[in-house]
């Protein structure tokens, strides 16, 4: 007899994750705490327990109550791939519990960041991720990059070294603040809201050893950086930003390669370049150049598919909004982003 619980002890949760091959950093207690503290989402995590009281299934859910994107129960916002993990026998029971939560709380729709093969759900495939297989012998990975895409990545890395760019691994608050500023600059140029400062501050507060910042510096100034997340055998390239005035020095290639080198030496098996929209040709090309393998990401919705405004990049609304955002002075842009960013997770 399966029992559905909404609260479990942290240690039994961690034990369940350790023994589940599909568990990711997004399923951890630290990620839950990070999202709750940053955005004040209401949690509805569902745990299935067997007769002996052992966790056999987990469906992490947060309620995003938005005046922009609607009221939705999501697994999970700001998580590029996260859904049910556990024994197949209790999968539909937890999914149905999620549907019932929507009905009882008046929530408009149910979103799972994974493929759900249940008739009530519709699947959408607007994103992909790109994964590089690692090797403890970094020279083998380097030799692979020298051959991939005619060696374009290897040449860019060498160019960055010759230009005097060096990379530091850091969790220092001052470096995180510099990265945040670069991220604000990049996001405004794209015409979209930027991550709030608390997003990055809390990420390093609640994720601990699961997260680090790779800072590419020139003349002691950060000109680019990437936030990496670690869990089990995988490194996830979570967030990147750079100063557009220094792109010719290829700082993005520098910090990505340094993080790959370190991942190989630490025994990680996979380097996940993270979620990319199929409409973002520039970012897709950057990730493909590393000799990665593309994996489709399927998001499932009940009832019906939901397409975000940002995915309709050819629409007149999107073009007008991005044009407007680019013209907002930085102080007002940051304040606006602090208010609206949580709605787009």
Domains of the chain: 3-114 (3.40.630.30), 129-297+323-332 (3.40.630.30)
- 300: tokens are 């499932």
**What is residue 67's three-state secondary structure?**
coil
- 316 membership: H or E segment, kind and range: helix 316-327
At residue 206's C-alpha, the angle toward residues 201 and 211, to 5°, is: 75
Per-residue pLDDT of the chain (345 residues; tens, 9 = 90+): 689 999 999 999 999 999 999 999 999 999 999 999 999 999 999 999 999 999 999 999 999 998 888 899 999 999 999 999 999 999 999 999 999 999 999 999 999 999 998 888 999 999 999 999 999 999 999 999 998 888 899 999 999 999 999 999 999 999 999 999 999 999 999 999 999 999 999 999 999 999 999 999 999 999 999 999 999 999 999 999 999 999 999 999 999 999 999 999 999 999 999 999 998 999 999 999 999 999 999 999 998 666 544 445 555 666 677 888 898 999 999 999 999 999 988
Q: Is the dihedral of CA 84, 86, 88, 92 positive or negative?
A: negative
3-state helix, strand, coil in the chain (%, to 5): 45, 30, 25
Does pTM top 0.75 for this prediction? yes
């Amino acid at each position: 007899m399966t029992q559905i619980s909404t609260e479990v002890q942290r240690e039994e949760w961690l034990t369940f994750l350790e023994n589940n091959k599909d568990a990711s950093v997004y399923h951890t207690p630290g990620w839950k705490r990070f999202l709750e503290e940053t955005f004040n989402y209401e949690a509805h995590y569902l745990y299935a327990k067997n007769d002996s009281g052992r966790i056999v299934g987990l469906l992490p859910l947060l309620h995003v109550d938005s005046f922009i994107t609607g009221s939705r129960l999501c697994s999970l916002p700001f998580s590029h791939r996260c859904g049910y993990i556990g024994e197949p026998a209790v999968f539909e029971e937890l999914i149905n519990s999620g549907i019932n939560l929507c009905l009882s709380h008046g929530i408009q729709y149910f979103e799972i960041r994974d493929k759900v093969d249940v008739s009530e759900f519709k699947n959408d495939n607007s994103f992909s991720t790109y994964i590089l297989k690692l090797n403890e012998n970094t020279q083998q990975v380097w030799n692979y990059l020298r051959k991939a895409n005619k060696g374009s990545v290897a040449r860019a890395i060498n160019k960055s070294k010759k230009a005097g760019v060096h990379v530091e691994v850091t969790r220092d608050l001052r470096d995180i603040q510099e990265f945040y500023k670069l991220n604000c600059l990049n996001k405004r140029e794209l015409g979209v809201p930027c991550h709030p400062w608390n997003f990055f501050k809390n990420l390093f507060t609640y994720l601990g050893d699961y997260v680090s910042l790779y800072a590419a510096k020139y003349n002691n100034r950060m000109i680019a950086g990437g936030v990496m997340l670690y869990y089990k055998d995988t490194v996830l390239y979570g967030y990147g930003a750079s100063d557009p005035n220094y792109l010719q020095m290829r700082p993005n290639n520098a910090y990505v390669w340094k993080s790959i080198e370190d991942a190989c030496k630490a025994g990680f098996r996979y380097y996940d370049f993270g979620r990319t929209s199929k409409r973002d040709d520039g970012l897709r090309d950057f990730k493909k150049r590393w000799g990665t393998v593309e994996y489709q990401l399927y998001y499932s919705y009940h009832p019906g598919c939901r397409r975000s405004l940002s995915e309709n990049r050819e629409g007149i609304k999107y073009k007008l909004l991005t044009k407007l955002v680019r013209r907002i002075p930085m102080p007002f842009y940051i304040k606006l982003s602090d208010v609206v960013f949580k709605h787009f997770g």
